[in-house]
Structure 1
Amino acid sequence: MIYAVWVPLLMPFAAVPTARRLAEALPPVRAARLLAATGVGLALCGLLALALLVVPGATRFPAVSAFGELVRPLSAVAPAAAVPLAAVALALLAGCSAAVARAVRRHWAQLHRSEPRFERAEEELAVLRDSRPDAYALPGRPGTPGRIVVTTGMLRALDPDERDALLAHERAHLVGRHHLYLAAVELAALCHPALRSLRGPMGYALERCADEAAAEAVGDRRLAARAIGRAALATRAAEGDARPRPRAALAAAAGPVPRRVAALLGRGTPSPRVGRAAAAALLACLVVSGAAALEATGDLHSSIEAAQGETGPH
């Protein structure tokens, strides 16, 4: 176990470098799904590895050993390292749990603070009387559809056709429940520092999903690209005076807008082979991490059986 248990903790460092290439080369919906699955999977495997490191050291204490009916110490970890490793792993597990709990509570509180301004509106679109250009999709609480929030300043900054493209972009965020993908990667990042690098590729993939949906809705990729570019320029021009958006909001002007516009116009799109290679690499990292976690779990189970005197050590 002592060797296999480290693989899930190290594998995220190998997986993350391929994430940006995957977000650029794969179709955006597939990229977002794969990034979310990889982030959550690697985070869970890492947490399981930490839990496995806690057990051998914990059984060195008489109360735990008696509870597990152990007649001799576990052999999964060297005696001198068992207790220090268990203490560090337990501290990391507690820190991850506390960080995830705080993030969930903060996200929920922000949704509650943002919703009352729009609770009387029966329509999907909420227009704020504000000269500062801004537009974003605000996900609703469970059981509510969410809102498209746009300021009067943003409406004045765009032509009617461009407004339609912008609203289609934000609507795609709500329909696709993109905030859940973003939340999955955010929570995974709290469980392993290397997974923080997935936030950028995931944000890009989600904006690309909405860009493609907007282009399909208006039937004109150039119009969608122009609307996103003008919305971004208007937002950046008023950036110093802009009010902060809720953390869960997804905005058309977010992320690397020039790359998104270029993708809509079909410029500089990587070869599909690059996307397939990146997807295969990420899946391989996830499979290796999961297999190593299962192997370490099996080794620990065998060690526990041996310590209980039920079977000989394997």
Structure 2
Amino acid sequence: MFDHFVWSVVVAPALVSIAVRLIAERLAPGRAAQAVAWSAAATAAAGMANLFVFTLKAVAQLPAVGTVFGWSAHTVYQDTAHVPWVPLLSVVLLAASVAAVTVTALRHRRVLARARHLTDGSATVLVLPDDRPEAFAVPGRPGRIVVTTGMREHLTATQLDAVIAHERAHLDAGHHRLVAVAEMAAVAHPALWWVARHVGYLVERAADEQAARDVGSRRTVAHAIGRACLATGPEVGLGLNAAGRGGAVPRRVASLLDPPRRGASGWQLIPVLLAASTLVWTVEAVWDLIELLLKAGLAS
């Protein structure tokens, strides 16, 4: 069973992160965001499932448990006797992953609840009387777009339309789900942290491209993003999440000022296949545990 732990918990998440670095810029940003986010989620889920399998093994190899269920605890223990630390480590890692994912999911719910309360009953586009220059999308039914008066003062009417189109693109594509899925994958497995950060960048790029199509000018959207970033400062990003921070904004502007590129769809199969492989190995890990317990039952 140890090979399942090595692949699904150690190797596959690292390979997915490497694959994302290699292929993310070769795909259209919207397509890349989906492939990367769901591949990360599947990889993290497979890793947690393997940790759960080894946690069950850690319990099954206790003599008291073997006595209750009528199997040989020694036989169960012998399967990973050469790496006795793996079952115990799996218990600790699983507990940490479950706690981190739970805390992150609850935080996402609280943030969305506060944002929806702020915009409850308002128009689809809400202008808040606030000197702080901000613009963001609030998912919901219907979703709403919030722009402060501080942001409106820094933009021309055309640029404001571009910012609103950008935020509307987030709502239409459900980008908040991809960001949430990627973030929970990252807290479940630290090796996927960069992947989650890049999903944030990709959804901003996807919204930029959709806004450019909606307003009919890539240059207008580029100027709007640049002006908004200068207004907010480098510590606050324009968009759904923190992907607008730091050096990401110049990259987004530069991409908009270049002619649009068509990404090759075949590249997205790399992280998808890696994620699929670890899911297959997880099924095998479950089957191996069942076989081990059956063997232990015969040995009792």
CA distance in 2, matches of 1:60, 1:213: 55
Letter in 1 for 2:124: E
Q: How many residues align?
A: 296
- Cα displacement string for residues 194-231 of structure 1 (whole angstroms, at most 9, x for unaligned residues): 01111221011100111111011111111121211211
**One-letter identity of the residue aligned with 2:186:** A
Residue of structure 2 equivalent to 1:263: 255
Sort the Cα spacing of 1:52 and 1:116 in 2 relative to 1 into closer, same or farther, 3 A.
closer
Task: Please state whether the residue corresponding to 2:205 is helix, strand or coil.
Answer: helix
Counterparts of 1:150 and 1:159, CA distance in 2: 13
Q: What pairs up with 1:86-235 in 2 under 5 angstroms?
A: 86-121=87-122, 123-140=123-140, 144-235=141-232
Residues 225 and 254 (structure 1), Cα distance of their counterparts in 2 relative to 1, 3 Å cut: same
2:9 matched to which residue of 1?
9
Q: How far is 1:266 from its partner?
A: 2.3
Aligned to 2:298, the other structure's residue is in SS state coil
Cα distance, 1:35 vs. partner?
0.8
Supply the AA of the counterpart residue of 1:93: L
Deviations 1:63-110 (A, max 9, x none): 42244431463266234744x432221121111111111112222222
Q: Which residue of 2 aligns with 1:303?
A: 292
Identity, % of aligned positions = 35
- AA aligned to 2:131 is S
SS of the aligned residue for 2:130 comes to coil
| Residue 267 of structure 1: how far off its partner (Å) | 5.9
- Structure 2 gap ranges (5+): none
Amino acid at match of 1:198: V
CA separation of 1:91 and 1:189: change in aligned 2, threshold 3 A: same
Structure 2 vs 1, CA of residues 252 and 134 (structure 1 numbering), >3 Å: closer, same or farther?
A: farther
C-alpha separation in 1, matches of 2:153 and 2:250: 22
TM-score, normalised relative to structure 2: 0.88
Alpha carbon RMSD of aligned pairs, Å? 2.7
TM-score (norm 1): 0.84
Q: Do the aligned partners of 1:133 and 1:154 also contact (CA within 8 Å) in 2?
A: yes
State which drifts further: 12-21 or 72-81: 72-81
1:71·1:308 contact (CA, 8 Å) conserved in 2?
Answer: yes
Consecutive unaligned residues of structure 1, counting only runs of 5 or more, are none
Moved over 4 A (4+): 251-255
What is the CA–CA distance in structure 1 between the aligned matches of 2:242 and 2:280, rounded to whole Å?
38
Q: Give the one of 280, 285, 293 matched to 1:291.
A: 280
Is residue 128–residue 152 contact of structure 1 (8 Å, CA) maintained in 2? yes
Change (3 A) 1:266 1:213: same
Q: Contact 1:5/1:52 (CA < 8 Å) preserved in 2?
A: no
Amino acid at match of 2:256: L
Does the CA-based 8 Å contact 1:58-1:64 persist in structure 2?
Answer: yes
Distance (Å, rounded) in 2 between the aligned partners of 1:161 and 1:107: 32
The residue aligned with 1:55 is 56
Task: Give the drift of 1:308.
Answer: 1.6
Offset, 1:175: 1.5
CA–CA separation in structure 2 for the residues paired with 1:93 and 1:301: 20
| Residue 158 of structure 1: how far off its partner (Å) | 1.1
Q: CA deviation at 1:42?
A: 0.5
d(CA) in 1 for partners of 2:211, 2:277: 38
Query: 1:135, 1:251 within 8 Å by CA — same for their partners in 2?
Result: no
Q: Secondary structure at the match of 1:309?
A: helix
Q: After superposition, what is the alpha-carbon deviation per residue over 1:5-52, rounded to whole angstroms, capped at 9, x for unaligned?
A: 310012111220231343322011210110111111100111121122
Return the alpha-carbon distance in structure 2 between the equivalents of residues 56 and 120 of structure 1: 52
2:80 is matched with 78
Give, as a single letter, the amino acid of the residue that structure 2 aligns with 1:204.
Answer: Y
Distance, in Å, in 1 between the alignment partners of 2:190 and 2:135 is 31
More helix by share: 2
Please list the CA deviations of residues 231-259 of structure 1 after superposition, one character each: whole Å capped at 9, or x if unmatched.
Answer: 1122217x5xx7x99xx944795561111
Change in CA separation of 1:127 and 1:251 when aligned onto 2, cut-off 3 Å: farther
